[in-house]
Amino acid sequence: MFQLPEKAHFSRNIPKKKFYEQTGADESLKRLFIQQIESVYWQYKLSKETTHLSPTKDVEEIQIFEITLRERELSEKILKKIDTQIPYPILYVLTYNGHHKLKMAYKEKSQRTAHQQKVISYHESDWQTKESLAEWNILQGIHLQQVYENLIKSLSKVSYKQEEDLQQTVQREQKRQELERQIMKLEKKINRERQFNRKVEMNQELRRLKKELENV
Question: Given pLDDT bands bounded at 50, 70 and 90, which one contains residue 197?
Answer: very high
Amino acid letter, residue 130: K
β-strand partners of 45: 63
Q: What is the pLDDT, as a whole number, of residue 113?
A: 66
Task: List, for residues 37-50, the tens digit of each pLDDT value.
Answer: 999 999 999 999 99
Task: List, for residues 88-108, the tens digit of each pLDDT value.
Answer: 999 999 999 999 999 999 998
Contact present, 161 and 73 (Cβ < 8 Å): no
Contact present, 186 and 209 (Cβ < 8 Å): yes
Task: List, for residues 109-165, the tens digit of each pLDDT value.
Answer: 776 666 678 899 999 999 999 889 888 889 999 999 999 999 999 998 887 777 788
Question: Domain locations in the chain?
Answer: 6-155, 174-214
Contact present, 94 and 122 (Cβ < 8 Å): no
Nearest to 149 by CA among 129, 167, 176, 137: 167
